[in-house]
Amino acid sequence: MFWRMLQGALVRQRRRMFMMALTIALGVSLTTAMLNVMLDVGDKVNRELKTYGANIMVTPRAASVVKDLYGVEAAGGGNQYLQEADVGKIKTIFWAHNIVTFAPSLAAEAVTPDGQPVTVVGTWFEHYLPLPTGETAVTGIKALKPWWQVEGNWVDDADGQAAMVGSLLAGKLGLRPGDTLAVRLGDGRQPGRFRVAGLFDSGGAEDMQVFIPLKTVQQALHLEGKVGKVEVSALTTPENELARRAAQNPQNLSVAEWETWYCTAYVSAIAYQIEEVVGGARAKPVRQVAESEGAILQKIQLLMLLITVLSLAGSALGISNLLTASIMERSKEIGLLKALGATDGAVALLVLAETLAAGTAGGIAGYFAGLGFAQIIGWSVFGAAVAAKGMVIPLVMVLVALVTLAGSLPAMRMLLVLRPAEVLHGR
Amino acid sequence: MTKYSLYGKMVLYALLRRRSRMVVALLAVAIGATVLSGLVTLYYDVPRQMGREFRSYGANLLLLPDGDNQVMPEQAVQLAAGSLPQGKVIGMAPYLYDRVLINSQPIMAAGTDFAAVKKVSPYWQITGQWPAPGSGGAVVGAEVAELLRLKPGQTVTITVPGAEQEKKLPVAGIVHTGGSEEDFIFVELPLLQQWLGKPGLVSVAQVSVQAGEGELTAWMQQTAGTGGGITPRLVKQLTQSEGLVLGKLQALVYLVTLIVLLLTLICVATTMMAVVTERRKEIGLKKALGAENRSIVLEFLGEGMVLGGLGGLLGTGCGFYFAQVVSLQVFARPISFQPLIALAAFGAAVAVAGLACLIPVRMATGVEPATVLRGE
């Protein structure tokens, strides 16, 4: 009997049930979309902030003490280098997946035929690096410095005679893409001739420099397999008190704290892990980039959280509103049921079962619609899919169940106290 | 006259007699208006607030001496900074660089204004303290401190080439930035100017301006040639990235706002429709008594708009309050009231409530009174 009544209600009151399911679907889709976007926004924005460039600088340990300061020759002179073979190991640390890209470089002083000194930097432009894990990583300054405005083309790493010239230097020397640049590198008697593949405008000190493939500089300086420094761009977690204490000296932490610090993607932890794998290296976080990233990330996450709370509250009230409206509408029917001898429990059960049926259908439809909305946001804003987090499903289910029950409570109370005679008479 | 007073009475009593239903409808409209006004206010304000956050990356504009000059007069720098859009300059830190000797090691010294540095480069991590103004304290870069084994509280002896006399300064703090700042020793600008015999001269000024790349480029073109010995340059890495990331953020908030609004409005409309559909019998009775379709539609429209107006007023207030709370929580800065947005939210609430009433009424007036009254 109960099932027949339920079925009857669902079929006969199709319109009303459809409305209820639609409202719940809307609420659920909103909830799903906002939760998914909120949980993923940190990762996405973090990737966007990578346009600010490297946040970790890896230099040889010895050189970081006796470094030449703006042309001041350091005492001792014994410059040390990092091994190029070690560079790939950066991709093997605990937080390897958080390393977005990196580029080694080796700088050399060179002289143009008319005696002007220029700094020539050897680096990877777009280098395919085989990893110990068998994968191949694409690294280089093309990915590391996306803000460079390039006129002409990027240099192909295999082409040892190609060069990219900074815009200020090019202006001074009168160079255009396609021209030839002659500079004397290292102790070579003959000036090397380079084809200018492109000019770049970086807005920084690089605008006075020439960039050529790393191999060429290594050969000219007789420093095969050596690099001067490595710039690393990594996804990091905003710093907190623990990270700050660790940055002072990791040895001061307790074992439990040390483990937490090591297994969190703090910029200091990643720098520490790089020092572990790259021999004789010193990895320093670039505070300007690392600190600001943390601040901006936290703000965005908080902002999204608050917007999500508002939209959740909105959809919860919307659902409960509609439920109240649609149950009140049926007072006459309920009155008749009660007049025929239905107990309060039976009536409540029937109404709840109906609501549940509509809610389930609406909830499932809404979940998938919400995923769709989240993808629309992800693709149009970040150009990448928003990861569908599994934890959203139980969260949404609990929320919807709570909201639906809470929403039908006032209406339910009204139904139970209603007097059949009054209602049937029409007030 | 009587016609209108009757109309007013009908609308008023329709609302009063069915209190519980009307509260439901009112609540729905108010929620819609809250979401609308709250989110749109945020959407309008977020880029501005975020733009300020991005200034924690440091200076985005450099003022350099013209041509091959090494220094420029401080007054010209002040003049150039003064021509920037007022109220948007977060800070301007002047720097004068020269080489000095410490323990007969050549070190680069920078004279600057520490109060301005704190504003322009908030990412400086200081171990120890910032020097008190006028105390003559120095801030030592981490690399230099390691090289010379300096600690906060110690005294550093500086020899300026050319001047025979040695100067002793207390070390107030050690600065860590991970950048080139760690290779410098920072002292107060007037002090270094006096030692070097370069009064009123600076080598570079870092300016942090809350403005996009386009705005800054326009300013540079405007002042080109009138610089008085100064060349402004953009820190491209910052200005370009900021434009990129801010654009994405704005798009994100825009899309989220759009989707939330769309869904909320549909929610409001369905609730209103449910409340009105219930009254088909009443419509049938009015028609049987000889009411025209037009007057029935007008009556319901009036009811809907009164509800929309009340709910809109309530919701607009709540929405502004919400935006204010978010802004204070996230950015720790109050939001300014936007009358236009409030008006738009109010108007939208009235329009949606009215339209949502119309659809079911239209359907109800289309059927024969007898059918409706008989019940189905």
Which ranges of A1-83 does DSSP label H, i.e. alpha helix?
Answer: 2-12, 14-48
CA angle A304, A308, A311 (to 5 degrees): 140
Look at strands B166-176 and B89-102 and give their pairing. Answer: unpaired
Of B21, B39, B278, the CB nearest to A307: B39
Distance from the Cα of B290 to chain A's closest Cα (Å) equals: 22
Q: What is the mean pLDDT of residues A196-209?
A: 83
Q: List C-alpha distances in Å: B143 to A57, B96, B146, B166.
A: 14, 20, 5, 22
- Judged by a CB distance cut-off of 8 A, whether residue B259 touches chain A is yes
> B313 vs chain A: nearest CA distance in angstroms?
17
As a whole number of angstroms, the distance between CA B264 and CA B345 comes to 13
Closest CA to A411 of B274, B312, B307: B274
Three-class SS of residue A338?
helix
- Report the candidate in A276, A157, A139, A281 with the shortest Cα–Cα distance to residue A218: A157
Q: Give the Cα separation of A177 and A180 in Å (integer).
A: 9
Distances in Å between the Cα of A302 and the Cα atoms of A305, B318, B331 are 5, 20, 10
Set of chain B residues whose Cβ sits within 8 Å of the Cβ of A16: 274
Band the pLDDT of A68: cuts 50, 70, 90.
very low
Instruction: Give how far the C-alpha of residue B323 lies from the chain's centroid of Cα atoms, to the nearest Å.
Output: 12
The label of the residue with tokens 């919860």 reads A316
Q: Is the pLDDT of residue B155 over 80?
A: yes
Asked if residue B180 has pLDDT above 70, the reply is yes
Nearest alpha carbon to residue A317 among B23, B342, B98, B189: B23
A255 neighbors A57 (Cβ within 8 angstroms)? no
Asked whether residue A333 carries a pLDDT value surpassing 80, the answer given is no
User: What are the b/e assignments for B263-274, b being 16+ CB within 10 Å?
Assistant: bbbbbbbbbbbb
Tens digit of each residue's pLDDT (9 = 90 or more) over A155-199? 888 888 889 998 888 888 888 888 888 888 776 666 778 888 899
Question: B232 pLDDT exceeds 50?
Answer: yes
pLDDT given at position A10: 66
User: Would you call B179 and A67 a contact, using CB atoms and an 8 Å cutoff?
Assistant: no
| Interface A-B: count of C-beta contacts within 8 A | 216
Closest partner residue to B322 among A300, A310, A324, by Cβ?
A310
* Residue B225 touches chain A, beta carbons under 8 Å: no
pLDDT at A118: 87
Tens digit of pLDDT for each residue in B289-325? 888 888 888 888 888 888 889 989 998 999 888 888 8
- Which of B52, B267, B282, B285 best tests the A interface by mutation, with the highest count of A CBs <10 A? B267
The answer to whether B183 contacts A302, with C-beta atoms less than 8 Å apart, is: no
What local confidence, expressed as pLDDT, does residue B225 receive? 66
Of the candidates B123, B275, B322, which has its C-beta nearest A292's C-beta? B123
Q: What are the phi and psi torsion angles at B111 (to 5°)?
A: -95, 135
Does the structure show a pLDDT above 50 at A89?
yes
A426 to chain B: closest CA residue = B281
* Among B22, B57, B34, B51, residue whose Cα is nearest residue B349: B34
The predicted structure's pLDDT at residue A71: 40
Contact A318 B275 (CB under 8 A): no
Every domain of chain A and the residues it spans? 2-47+294-424, 55-285
Q: How far is the CA of B97 from the CAs of A206, A347, B117, B279, in angstroms?
A: 20, 85, 15, 82
- Rounded to the nearest angstrom, the minimum Cα separation between B376 and chain A is 11
**Whether the predicted pLDDT of A73 surpasses 70:** no
Q: A135: exposed, middle or buried (C-beta count within 10 Å: 0-12, 13-18, 19+)?
A: exposed
pLDDT(A418) > 80? no
DSSP H or E run through B191:
helix B189-196
pLDDT at A67: 43
Q: Which of A5-9, A118-122, B11-15, B367-371 has the highest mean pLDDT?
A: A118-122
Q: Tell me the average pLDDT across A324-344.
A: 77
Token representation of residue B46: 């977020």
Q: How far apart are CA A222 and CA B99, in angstroms?
A: 32
Asked if B274's CB is within 8 angstroms of A318's CB, the reply is: no
From CA A424, how far away is CA A418, in angstroms rounded? 10
Ranges of each domain in chain B: 3-53+243-373, 59-234
Nearest by CB to B271, which of A201, A290, A318?
Answer: A318
Residue of A66, A292, A301, A382 best to disrupt the B interface, most CBs of B under 10 A: A292
- Which among B28, B241, B278 has the least Cβ separation from residue A318? B28
- Residue where the block lists tokens 């001061």: A252
- The rounded distance, in Å, linking the Cα atoms of A227 and A295 is 33
> Is A63 a residue whose pLDDT tops 60?
no
Helix or strand holding residue B146 (H, E): helix B142-148
Question: Do A306 and B325 count as a contact with CB atoms less than 8 A apart?
Answer: yes
Task: Say whether pLDDT at A356 is over 60.
Answer: yes
Whether complex ipTM tops 0.90: no
Average of per-residue pLDDT across A343-347: 81
Pick from A224, A253, A229, A154: nearest CA to A196: A154
Please tell me the number of Cα atoms within 13 Å of B206 on its side-chain side. Answer: 22
pLDDT for B186 equals 92
Q: Which pLDDT band, with edges at 50, 70 and 90, does A390 fall under?
A: confident
Contact A282, A64 (CB under 8 A): yes
Of B42, B125, B237, the CB nearest to A204: B237
Per-residue pLDDT, B287: 82
B328 touching A, CB under 8 A? no
List pLDDT tens digits, range B52-103.
778 888 888 888 887 777 888 888 888 888 888 777 888 889 999 888 888 8
Under an 8 A CB cutoff, do B267 and A314 touch? yes
Instruction: Name the strand (E) or helix (H) holding B2.
Output: helix B2-17
pLDDT band at A69 (very low <50, low <70, confident <90, very high): very low
pLDDT at A25 over 50: yes
Q: How many CB atoms lie within 10 A of CB A296?
A: 23
The answer to whether A112 and A183 have CB atoms below 8 angstroms apart is yes
Output the pLDDT for position A187. 67
Residue B27 has pLDDT above 50, yes or no: yes
